[in-house]
């Protein structure tokens, strides 16, 4: 089997808060005015990615993993996660504010939903002037104080707001209350999980006039009520080098800002490699083939890859491994 760099058909998701930037900026094949997410790499049940390029076109990612687990994922990844792809890769366009939410940790998610928890990171690709994120509380809060704020409709007074610009990066631990604000376009890397506890949705109604479901009781034991300044990722931005951004038990992410070609060995990596193009364009090659990558596109290089070459005159990439 030739394990060339794989591109996948985007899985587009309509969201109440979505817009048209995924189509307008990245050329995603959307026909909706409220496309909020493009799932780039997924094996979430019902939303499994399908190969878009080369001789494996129209084959599902899950099918490939089950047929070639170690070649695709890496031996150590298979030992940890079996034949489930361990991360979910997305681009997100927030035309409106997202709901205020949080994600349970692995233990709670396993107990309640037979799922992994959801640790995630965001890389800001574009932000309208004044755009913000909500990340955590602005002070230590008790469970009682939090519950009272929901009753009194004063939760927003307890939350921490962060102005954002292109290149800003945030790491969102499980339990941390958060929301993406209106006018933000970002790349998201997360554990494979779709378990979200929504706690406030600005009293919005969906297209059928219904309020969206809240998960008030489930969230109470999942929230981290402490004010922690542990979410903004400061990372080196050296040109033509591999800059470490996030290194956590669930994924490792590096930042590459290149204005010339780069080549390096990966035969000892024992993990797949993902590239998300956040600006510019490049040709990504391994010993089995090559693929072009433009802003808003993603490629997966199987773990069996021994050498990667990136050919470019200008590109910014997020490199993701386990």
Q: Per the domain annotation, does 212 fall within a domain?
A: yes
The answer to whether residue 227 scores a pLDDT higher than 90 is yes
Band of residue 256 on the pLDDT scale cut at 50, 70, 90: very high
Q: Any idea which of 173-177, 190-194, 242-246 has the lowest mean pLDDT?
A: 190-194
Structure tokens, 72:
């695709």
d(CA 92, CA 64): 26
The answer to whether residue 299 scores a pLDDT higher than 80 is yes
With tokens 């779709």, the residue in question is: 194
Q: Are residues 215 and 122 in the same domain?
A: yes
Q: Are residues 91 and 164 in the same domain?
A: yes
The mean per-residue pLDDT over the stretch 295-304 comes to: 98
Query: Where in the sequence numbering do the catalytic residues fall?
Result: 198
Give the pairing type, strands 184-191 and 87-94. antiparallel
Burial string for 11-29 (b: 16+ CB within 10 Å, else e) reads: bbbebbbbbebbbeebebe
Band of residue 51 on the pLDDT scale cut at 50, 70, 90: very high
Across the chain, mean pLDDT equals 96
Q: Per the domain annotation, does 236 fall within a domain?
A: no
Structure tokens, 322:
């386990």
The mean per-residue pLDDT over the stretch 275-286 comes to: 98
- DSSP class of residue 219 equals H
Q: Which domain holds residue 106?
A: 11-220
The answer to whether residue 1 scores a pLDDT higher than 80 is no
With tokens 């990372």, the residue in question is: 235
- DSSP class of residue 106 equals H
Q: Are residues 302 and 158 in the same domain?
A: no
Dihedral sign for Cα atoms in the order 5, 62, 124, 140: negative
308 forms bridges with which residues in the sheet? 264
Q: Under a CB-based contact definition with an 8 Å cutoff, are residues 6 and 300 in contact?
A: yes
Q: Per the domain annotation, does 82 fall within a domain?
A: yes
The mean per-residue pLDDT over the stretch 233-260 comes to: 96
Q: Are residues 79 and 206 in the same domain?
A: yes
pLDDT for residue 73:
97
Q: Under a CB-based contact definition with an 8 Å cutoff, are residues 212 and 204 in contact?
A: yes
Band of residue 212 on the pLDDT scale cut at 50, 70, 90: confident
With tokens 């007074």, the residue in question is: 157
Q: Are residues 68 and 182 in the same domain?
A: yes
d(CA 260, CA 262): 7
Band of residue 81 on the pLDDT scale cut at 50, 70, 90: very high
Q: What is the domain count for the chain?
A: 2
d(CA 59, CA 249): 29
What pLDDT, in 10s, does the model give residues 84-122?
899 999 999 999 999 999 999 999 999 999 888 899 999
Burial string for 31-68 (b: 16+ CB within 10 Å, else e) reads: eeebbbbbbbbbbbeeebbebebbebeeeebbebbeee
Q: DSSP 3-state assignment of 172?
A: strand
Can you list the alpha helix ranges (DSSP code H) found in the chain?
A: 21-24, 61-67, 69-73, 75-81, 106-113, 143-152, 216-220
Band of residue 283 on the pLDDT scale cut at 50, 70, 90: very high
pLDDT for residue 208:
85
Nearest CA-CA partner of 291 in 52, 33, 6:
6
pLDDT for residue 149:
97
Q: Are residues 280 and 167 in the same domain?
A: no
The answer to whether residue 206 scores a pLDDT higher than 90 is no
Instruction: Enter the pTM of the model.
Output: 0.95
Q: Are residues 140 and 39 in the same domain?
A: yes
What pLDDT, in 10s, does the model give residues 142-181?
999 999 999 999 999 999 999 999 999 999 999 999 999 9
Looking up residue 256, the CATH number of its domain turns out to be: 2.60.120.10
Q: Are residues 151 and 272 in the same domain?
A: no
pLDDT for residue 205:
82
pLDDT for residue 209:
86
Structure tokens, 137:
């509380």
d(CA 271, CA 66): 16
Q: Per the domain annotation, does 161 fall within a domain?
A: yes
Nearest CA-CA partner of 97 in 57, 133, 151:
133
Which among 159, 189, 220 is the end of a domain? 220
């Amino acid at each position: 089997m030739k394990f060339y760099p794989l591109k996948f058909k985007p899985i587009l998701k309509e969201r109440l808060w979505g817009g048209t930037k995924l189509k307008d900026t990245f050329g995603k094949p959307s026909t909706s005015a409220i496309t909020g997410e493009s799932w780039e790499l997924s094996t979430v049940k019902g939303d499994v990615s399908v190969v878009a390029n080369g001789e494996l076109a129209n084959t599902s990612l899950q099918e490939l993993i089950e047929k070639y687990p170690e070649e695709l994922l890496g031996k150590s990844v298979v030992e940890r996660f079996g034949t489930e792809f361990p991360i979910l890769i997305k681009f997100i366009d927030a035309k409106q504010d997202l709901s205020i939410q949080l994600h349970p940790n692995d233990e709670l998610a396993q107990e309640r939903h037979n799922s992994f928890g959801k640790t995630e990171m965001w890389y800001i690709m574009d932000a309208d002037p004044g755009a913000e994120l909500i990340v955590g509380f602005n002070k230590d809060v008790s469970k009682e104080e939090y519950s009272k704020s929901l009753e009194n409709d004063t939760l927003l007074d307890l939350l921490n707001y962060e102005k954002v610009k292109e290149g800003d990066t945030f790491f969102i631990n499980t339990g941390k209350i958060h929301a993406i604000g209106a006018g933000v376009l970002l790349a998201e890397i997360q554990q494979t999980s779709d378990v979200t506890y929504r706690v406030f949705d600005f009293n919005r109604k969906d297209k059928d006039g219904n309020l969206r479901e809240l998960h008030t009781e489930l969230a109470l034991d999942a929230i981290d009520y402490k004010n922690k300044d542990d979410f903004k990722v400061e990372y080196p931005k050296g040109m033509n080098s591999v800059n470490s951004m996030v290194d956590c038990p669930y994924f490792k992410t590096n930042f590459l800002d290149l204005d010339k070609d780069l080549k390096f060995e990966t035969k000892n990596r024992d993990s797949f490699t993902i590239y998300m193009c956040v600006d510019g364009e490049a040709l990504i090659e391994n010993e089995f083939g090559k693929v072009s990558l433009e802003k808003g596109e993603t490629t997966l290089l199987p773990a069996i890859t021994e050498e990667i070459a990136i050919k470019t005159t200008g590109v910014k990439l997020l490199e993701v491994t386990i």
